[in-house]
Amino acid sequence: MTNFTQVSYFTFGAYFDIGLFKYLLFTIIICFYAVIICANLLLIVVICKNRSLHEPMYIFLCSLFVNELFGSTVLFPFLLVQILSDIHIIYAPFCFLQIYCVFAYATVQFINLSVMSYDRYLAICYPLQYNTRMTYNKVAMLIALTWLFPFIEVAVTISLSSSLQLCGNIINKVYCDNYSIVKLACFDTTVNNIQGLFITCLVVFCPLIVILHTYMRILKVCYSGSKQTRQKALSTCTPHLASLLNFFFGSFFEIVQSRFNMSSVPMMLRIILSIYFLTCQPIFNPLMFGLQMSKIRSLCKSLIFGKM
């Protein structure tokens, strides 16, 4: 029997030899990473530089883009090194650091999206009272909650996982995952499972209730409101809804893959779905919000082509 103190590194079992194809895969992924960095940085600069965008909706968007830079930086440099390497291992402290960052990224993303739905609810359902209801103090409080709570909550999860006694060191994924570590435990993991269930309810169902409630109210107002109200709701909610669905799609496959036996699914498909969870938002959101929101689109054009 092996305890945790003797597990100094973990081996990734999802990688397999693809020969010279790994250089093509490396090129594709580094191009994805470059697009993510450029697109998210561009929108952050546009929002920060233009005072006309210093409004709650765009501040929450800026928070979303910052988190996407954080999440993609956690994955991509590590993934690029692993693709070119012949030995796919990671030392235990770095593995738990990666778990911490990945979980924090996902939690911040979900809470940020629920805060954005609350902001759209106030803007559409209470347009005349919006400025008094969504003050800058309230925006600062919501941003602080979005970022501080996930990092504290994930620290508790990692502290429980890192204290487990493990009987193996093979993770059947392309990056470190908390539940994969828990499955390697030698002894009972009831405490980890209960804590995981509690955190899931807190982090998933509470924001989900906020999102469902706000959109039910928005639909009710649109149904009984004027054509102008419906157009405003459509223009501001469409990119947000698309982002939500995209995030749910990636999260669903990640949860299914972590919790259930997926040995019947081809390995390449499982790898793609794992990577999709961490790449879908950073690539999708800048394109969706940048193209759909005319104000951001015009300011991006002026920033890039203005001097030309």
Phi, psi of 171, rounded to the nearest 5 degrees? -110, 120
Mean predicted lDDT score pLDDT of the chain: 83
Stretch (H or E) spanning 11? strand 9-12
Asked whether the predicted pLDDT for residue 308 surpasses 50, the reply is no
pLDDT band at 262 (very low <50, low <70, confident <90, very high): low
Asked whether the predicted pLDDT for residue 305 surpasses 70, the reply is no
Instruction: Give the three-class secondary structure for 260.
Output: coil
The proportion of the chain whose per-residue pLDDT surpasses 90, expressed as a percent, equals 20
Instruction: Give me the pLDDT at residue 1, please.
Output: 40
- Give CA–CA dist 193/195, Å, rounded: 5
Residues near 175 by beta carbon (within 8 Å), at least 6 away in sequence: 12, 75, 78, 79, 98, 102, 274, 278
Asked whether the beta carbons of 224 and 233 are under 8 A apart, the reply is no
- Give CA–CA dist 258/241, Å, rounded: 26
Residue closest to 4 by CA, chosen among 159, 191, 220, 199:
159
Asked whether the beta carbons of 304 and 51 are under 8 A apart, the reply is no
Average pLDDT score over residue span 179-191 = 82
> Each residue of 214-252: pLDDT tens digit?
988 888 888 777 777 777 777 778 888 888 888 888 887
Length of the chain: 308
Report helix angle 56-84 to 136-162, nearest 10. 30
The proportion of the chain whose per-residue pLDDT surpasses 70, expressed as a percent, equals 90
The whole model's pTM is what? 0.88
Asked whether the predicted pLDDT for residue 306 surpasses 80, the reply is no
- The helix, strand and coil proportions of the chain, stated in percent and rounded to the nearest 5, come to 80, 5, 20
pLDDT band at 145 (very low <50, low <70, confident <90, very high): very high
Q: Any idea what the Cα angle at residue 263 is, between residues 259 and 265, rounded to 5°?
A: 100
pLDDT band at 59 (very low <50, low <70, confident <90, very high): very high
Sequence spans of domains, the chain: 4-305
- Give CA–CA dist 295/134, Å, rounded: 21
> Each residue of 131-141: pLDDT tens digit?
899 998 999 99
pLDDT band at 124 (very low <50, low <70, confident <90, very high): confident
Q: Which CATH architecture has domain 4-305?
A: Up-down Bundle (1.20)
DSSP letter string, 67-112: HHHHHHHHHHHHHHHHHH-SS-EEEHHHHHHHHHHHHHHHHHHHHH
